[in-house]
Amino acid sequence: MRIFNFSAGPAVLPTKVLEQVRDELLDWRGTGMSVMEVSHRGKDFTGVIESAEADLRTLMGIPSNYKVLFLQGGATQQFAQIPMNLLDGRSADYIVTGSWSKKAYKEAQRFGAVRLAGSSEADSFTRVPSADELKLDLQAAYLHICTNETIHGVEMFDLPTAPAGVPLVADMSSHILSRPMDVSRYGLIYAGAQKNIGPAGLVIVIVREDLLGKASAITPSVMDYATMAENGSMLNTPPTFGIYLAGLIFKDLLAQGGLEAVEQSNIAKAQLVYDAIASSGGFYRNPVQEAFRSRMNVPFTLANPALDAAFLAEAAERQLSGLKGHKSVGGMRASIYNAMTLDGVRALVDLMQDFAARKA
Ligand SMILES: *Cc1c(COP(=O)(O)O)cnc(C)c1O
């Protein structure tokens, strides 16, 4: 039986897609093998990676002067790979709006000069710094942001304006494909798959072509974007199962009507949860300033933390899992990615209202 999984990641995947995977697991497209067992260089699999890329390009409207790379190592590896590829002996700017961008900033310090261009840490990461708070380096190699902070539940709906010629680099791991994004505003976008795309082990990098070829000399070949781009992400064996599953997810999103339709559904789901918090008379609380509240990750605390365990126990009874908040924030966190259904969100809101009515 499928439960409602609110985990931040690895996270819920659409049941329909998993059923297709199950149905073709032992005999994929009449090959008599699973997709995991076929050569990545054979035409069956190259067809998979090519259509996954084509569908992602359609979904996101990726311009032709961008490369799409299907890589391994997760978003955390990108924290290192980005400075290795883009720093080019210069400095880079980081805006820190939560745990993930802070980690990216720290990791980049191993590779050269990086600057903190803005931070909301003094406000416990409950907002995005405003334009006039930023101290931007006009000569920076890039400006790094995290457009959705998975742990703190902070989403950027307006992008910072990078100085002319400074490419914006964005960690979109936990909200890529949740709404339309204007790819042309970025130099590089990256996202680990296990939040809103597919299984862990795959990371997608979308990079503007003029940023390729600047990697430092010690960059391993498998970590050099230019080398990976020249080899169609297949310098070595790519994460084939992850790419196959991501491709099925892309087709499913296209069938839903693309990212405009997906966004409407995500707005409706997030609204239900935030309304439940707002109408609880202070029983539940979300600390994030309203303009920056994430549609994907909704952290909330109970006014009386002594009730946390009871809340989680009742959630488990109702087949709702993954609601325990991150240890650094406490309380609860509902991750309501694309694949979380409206029914799942309604079940959560029912629990929240019912629990508050009995315990307030
Ligand atoms: C989960 C997450 C990461 C880390 O992903 P890994 O695949 O575990 O390396 C980085 N950034 C954001 C925004 C995330 O949500």
DSSP calls for 132-145: GG----TT-S-EEE
pLDDT for the residue 221: 97
- Residue among 67, 102, 195, 214 flagged as catalytic: 195
299: helix, strand or coil: strand
| Same-fold call for 15-255 versus 257-359 | no
What H or E segment, with its residue span, contains residue 119?
Answer: strand 113-119
Q: What is the pLDDT of residue 1?
A: 83
Residues written for the chain: 360
Please check whether residue 59 is in contact with residue 250, taking contact to mean a CB–CB distance below 8 angstroms. yes
* Distance set, CA 358 to CA 178, 307, 333, 352 (Å): 35, 12, 21, 10
Nearest CA to ligand 1 atom 13: 173
Domain residue ranges in the chain: 15-255, 257-359
The rounded Å distance from CA 233 to ligand 1 centre is 20
- Find the farthest-apart pair of alpha carbons in the chain and give their distance in angstroms, rounded: 63
In testing the pocket of ligand 1, which one of 7, 71, 76 has its CB within 8 Å of the most ligand atoms?
A: 76
Q: Is-catalytic flag, 100?
A: yes
Residue 195 known to be catalytic: yes
Angle of the 99-108 helix axis to the 74-86 helix axis, nearest 10: 40
Is there a cis peptide before residue 167, judged by omega within 30 degrees of 0?
A: no
Give the integer Cα–Cα distance in Å for 241 and 51.
14
Dist. CA 245–CA 21, nearest whole Å = 8
Catalytic annotation present for 214: no
Identify which of 156, 102, 91 has the alpha carbon closest to the alpha carbon of residue 129: 156
Residue ranges of E strands in 140-276: 143-146, 148-149, 154-155, 168-171, 188-192, 203-208
Going from the Cα of 75 to the center of ligand 1, the distance in angstroms, rounded, reads: 5
Which atom, in ligand 1's list, is nearest to the CA of 172?
A: 13
pLDDT of residue 360: 87
Quote the ligand 1 centre to 184 CA distance (angstroms). Answer: 23
For the domain made up of 15-255, the CATH class stated in words is: alpha beta
Among 35, 22, 351, 8, CA closest to 150? 8
Q: What is the mean pLDDT of each run of 10 residues along the chain (360 residues)?
A: 96 98 97 96 96 98 98 98 97 98 98 97 98 97 98 98 97 98 98 96 98 97 98 97 98 98 98 98 97 98 97 98 95 98 98 96
Closest CA to 109 of 144, 138, 59: 144
In CATH, the number for domain 257-359 is 3.90.1150.10
Is ligand 1 within 6 A of the CB of residue 174? Answer: yes
Q: Which atom of ligand 1 is nearest to the CA of 151?
A: 15
Would the CB of 9 count as within 6 Å of ligand 1? yes
